[in-house]
Amino acid sequence: LAKTTQPISMDSYEGQEVNITCSHNNIATNDYITWYQQFPSQGPRFIIQGYKTKVTNEVASLFIPADRKSSTLSLPRVSLSDTAVYYCLVGEGNDYKLSFGAGTTVTVRA
């Protein structure tokens, strides 16, 4: 499993864009990059997944440079309800054992 490193916490204000960068220097060829969100006492929720370049969905964008050694989750115009822990996971194509790191606690203030 590729080891990931992400900031422990980030603070933001409503309406701002939040960018969380995850480092995964030993990412393998078959690895995908996936981000999850977790609210207190709830199960993690899938946000976005990508392999290379840029992926965008209705809630976030994921930027992956050509070397794939890092990735950045971008949350546009956050609201108070986006306060949560965000996890970056990197996993091989046929490896079911996806474990979560410490994650980044994002706190959005009014």
Partner 1 sequence: EPEVTQTPSHQVTQMGQEVILRCVPISNHLYFYWYRQILGQKVEFLVSFYNNEISEKSEIFDDQFSVERPDGSNFTLKIRSTKLEDSAMYFCASSTRALTGELFFGEGSRLTVL
Tell me the closest approach of the beta carbon of residue 23 to partner 1, in angstroms: 17
Residues 5-44 that bind partner 1 (CB under 8 A): 32, 34, 36, 38, 41-44
Smaller CB distance to partner 1: residue 33 or 75?
A: 33
Helix (H, G, I), strand (E, B) or coil at 81: helix
Closer by beta carbon to partner 1, 4 or else 70: 4
Residue of 18, 48, 19 lying closest to 32 (CA atoms)? 48
Token couple for 110? 């009014």
- Is the Cβ of residue 34 or residue 71 nearer to partner 1 in the bound state? 34
Distance (Å, whole) CA 85 – CA 103: 6
Residue positions counted in the chain: 110
**Do the strands 9-13 and 18-23 form a parallel or antiparallel pair, or are they unpaired?**
unpaired
> Rounded CA gap, 43 and 24, in Å?
24
Name residues contacting partner 1, limited to 43-102 (CB under 8 A). 43-46, 49, 87, 89, 91, 93-102
> Number of residues in contact with partner 1, rule: CB under 8 A?
25
Q: Looking at beta carbons only, is 16 or 61 nearer to partner 1?
A: 61
CB neighbours (10 Å) of residue 72? 16
The footprint of partner 1 (CB under 8 A) covers 32, 34, 36, 38, 41-46, 49, 87, 89, 91, 93-103
